[in-house]
Amino acid sequence: MNDTVASLFILFLWLLILAVFLRSLLSWFPINQDNELSRLLYRVTEPLLEPVRRMLPRTGMIDFSGMVVIILLYVMMEVVRRAAAQ
């Protein structure tokens, strides 16, 4: 695998992790959902979070989908790193 492509993909995965983390963090605060940042984070992260949310059992008020998505993104980064090292 080309090192430049691998580096760009890893950067993209880091940006997704940051977006999921920010969305999870913002969900703790009463922020207006019409905020441009909130809408952007929702549009970027919802396609990742929603399928995981459907597979996880309901846990009351705690949503573990963000943590699961971040772990999966870290696993993807490790796969890309190992593929780039070969």
pTM of the model: 0.88
Rounded (10°) CA dihedral 76, 81, 82, 85: 160
**pLDDT tens digits, residue range 27-80?**
888 877 788 888 999 999 999 999 999 998 888 888 899 999 999 999 999 999
Task: Give the C-alpha separation, 56 to 85, whole Å.
Answer: 34
* Residue 24 domain boundaries: 3-85
Counting the structural domains of the chain, the total is: 1
> 71, 56 in Cβ contact below 8 A?
no
Q: Given the structure tokens 């080309």, which residue do they identify?
A: 2
Angstrom distance (rounded) from CA 20 to CA 37 = 12
- Which tokens is 43 given? 């549009």
